[in-house]
């Protein structure tokens, strides 16, 4: 019996139908697999995008501050006496006594101390005796030359003998002059046995005492006294090269000293070195400061405040934006696409928390504050918030 004659419930599926069913099943399975792979791919892409977005450094930015107003520049400085002289000995001996101590006001020519010099006294006596002897020899030589000249007139001696006597008299006169010069030198040295003040001022140092051995013209010897003229003082201010142009004739400076907090003094410019020190990169400016009541002291450390014209300081940034690497001093700025660029800068003035930059930055740049250590050129970043202008700290 064939399959066509069998009852409906007993018929077997044809091969074609079975093939169709198999193909349909495989297609369905493929669709399901493809759908699953697509879902997993979308999930993996989303995870990757989230991971990359979370890996971007989040930074805060600010714009450098500009100050179009006139500013001030505070610099370390030191005071020196208007005139200062170290009093050394010109004769050797022992200190006989001293008349003035430190803090004593003296006038020009006032006696500071006296030196007892027995060796010099003996040399002076010996030079005087030699001078007297040479003068006597010279008188004898002159007398002899005169007598021989008279004998020549009477044709009793030869011209040669007269010339010899005249030359001996001339040599004796020269010897007298040499002896006189030596005696005068020693006599002048005796004046240095008394030490005197070279000008009106104050004794600021005394480095000797009665009975101390004194060696004259010794390079290693300490000065015996120091006299300083303090009615006005010299203020020396090293000005950075970037601000050398602000030094001009007639300018004034304000200064303070630690021993008088809150009190200001004023100085007037008298000149500058007209050259930049290669070691420090500064121009030395000299000011004169009146000191009628002696409140200021030579050797004082001072803080000098100079007026700065508008725009001379450049832009300012906080010191937290600095990057110190092998390439030098840098900051990190970001462009319109939020990519990092490292800029070389030059610091014109360092005030600790605030830095003034005169090269490498403009007021329109967006600077990263507290940049991460791993930040590199061209890195993308994410902004935490929009930064405003940085207000420099005084």
Check: pTM over 0.75? Answer yes or no. Answer: no
CA–CA separation, 220 vs 211, rounded Å?
Answer: 19
Q: Containing domain of residue 95, as a range?
A: 89-111+200-222
Asked if residue 11 is part of any domain, the answer here is no
Tell me how far CA of residue 382 lies from CA of 56, 64, 143, 339, in angstroms: 6, 20, 115, 9
Closest CA to 269 of 235, 308, 305: 235
Asked if residue 80 is part of any domain, the answer here is no
Q: Please indicate, yes or no, whether residues 123 and 181 belong to a single structural domain of this protein.
A: yes
Q: What is the CATH number of the domain that holds 360?
A: 2.40.420.20
Q: Structural domain tally of the chain?
A: 5
Residues 289, 290, 293: CA angle, nearest 5 degrees: 130
Q: Please indicate, yes or no, whether residues 259 and 301 belong to a single structural domain of this protein.
A: yes
Asked if residue 293 is part of any domain, the answer here is yes
3-state class (DSSP) for residue 250: coil
How does pLDDT run along the chain (394 residues), one tens digit per residue?
444 554 555 555 677 777 777 777 777 777 777 777 777 777 767 666 555 555 678 888 888 887 655 577 889 999 999 999 999 998 999 999 999 999 999 999 999 999 999 999 999 999 999 999 999 999 998 888 888 888 878 777 788 888 888 898 899 999 999 999 999 999 999 999 999 999 999 999 999 999 999 888 776 778 899 999 999 999 999 998 878 888 888 899 999 999 999 899 999 999 999 999 999 889 999 999 999 888 999 999 999 998 877 655 678 889 888 888 888 888 999 988 888 899 888 887 776 788 888 788 888 888 989 888 888 888 888 888 644 444 444 3
Asked if residue 42 is part of any domain, the answer here is yes
């Amino acid at each position: 019996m064939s399959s066509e004659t069998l009852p409906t419930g007993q018929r077997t599926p044809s091969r074609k139908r079975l093939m169709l069913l198999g193909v349909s099943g495989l297609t369905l399975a493929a669709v399901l697999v493809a759908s699953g792979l697509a879902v997993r791919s979308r999930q993996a892409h989303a995870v990757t995008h989230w991971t990359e977005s979370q890996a971007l450094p989040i930074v805060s930015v600010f714009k450098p501050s500009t100050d179009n107003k006139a500013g001030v520049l505070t610099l370390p400085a030191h005071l020196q006496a208007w005139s200062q002289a170290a009093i050394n000995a010109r004769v050797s001996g022992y200190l006989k006594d001293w008349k003035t101590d430190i803090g004593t006001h003296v006038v020009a020519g006032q006696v500071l101390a006296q030196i007892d010099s027995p060796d010099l006294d003996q040399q002076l006596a010996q030079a005087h005796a030699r001078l007297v002897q040479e003068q006597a020899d010279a008188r004898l030589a002159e007398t002899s030359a005169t007598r021989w000249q008279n004998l020549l007139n009477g044709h009793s001696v030869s011209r040669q003998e007269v010339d010899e006597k005249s030359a001996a008299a001339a040599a004796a006169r020269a010897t007298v002059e040499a002896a006189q010069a030596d005696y005068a030198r020693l006599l002048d040295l005796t004046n240095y046995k008394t030490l005197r003040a070279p000008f009106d001022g104050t004794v600021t140092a005394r480095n000797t005492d009665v009975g101390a051995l004194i060696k004259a013209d010794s390079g290693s010897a300490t000065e015996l006294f120091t006299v300083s003229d303090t009615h006005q003082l010299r203020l020396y201010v090293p000005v950075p090269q970037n601000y050398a142009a602000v030094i001009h004739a007639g300018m004034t400076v304000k200064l303070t000293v630690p021993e008088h907090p809150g009190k200001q003094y004023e100085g007037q410019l008298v000149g500058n070195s007209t050259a930049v020190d290669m070691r420090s990169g500064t121009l030395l400016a000299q000011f004169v400061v009146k000191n009628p009541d002696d409140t200021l002291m030579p050797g004082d450390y001072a803080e000098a405040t100079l007026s700065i014209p508008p725009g001379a300081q450049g832009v300012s940034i906080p010191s937290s934006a600095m990057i110190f690497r092998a390439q030098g001093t840098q900051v990190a700025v970001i462009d319109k696409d939020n990519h990092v660029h490292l800029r070389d800068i030059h610091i014109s003035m360092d005030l600790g928390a605030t830095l003034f930059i005169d090269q490498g930055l403009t007021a329109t740049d967006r600077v990263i504050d507290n940049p991460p250590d791993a930040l590199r050129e061209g890195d993308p970043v994410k902004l935490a918030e929009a930064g405003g202008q940085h207000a420099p700290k005084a």
